[in-house]
Amino acid sequence: TSDLQCAFIQQVIEKNSLSDKIVEIYADNTNINFGGARHCGKNNLWQKLQANLGKEIFSIGSGAHIVHNCLQNAVNCLPLDAESFAVKVYKYFRIYM
């Protein structure tokens, strides 16, 4: 749960005297971390860390998911079979492995 995550992270922050150095949290866009992609929940790791630190911190969701969603939509628009294309690219570059 977010309570367990927050307690563990808070323990690490205090042990290493990092409270003044924390400016953001980078994590997956799950409900437990941020309250979903829109960061709208109150019972999540990001909100609890802000409360424990007594300051606002930036929340950065996973960039990999953003890239994946962009590519997924782009591939759906392509006039070719993405799996076939990926196999051809792999076969071309495997000689360098």
Cβ contacts of residue 35 below 8 Å, gap of 6+?
Answer: 41, 42, 43, 44, 46, 47
Check pLDDT > 80 for residue 65. Answer: no
Q: How far apart are CA 88 and CA 83, in angstroms?
A: 9
Report residue 97's pLDDT band, with 50, 70 and 90 as the boundaries. low
Report residue 85's pLDDT band, with 50, 70 and 90 as the boundaries. confident
Query: Which pLDDT does position 94 carry in this prediction?
Result: 86
- pTM (two decimals): 0.59
Query: Which pLDDT does position 37 carry in this prediction?
Result: 67
Check pLDDT > 70 for residue 79. Answer: yes
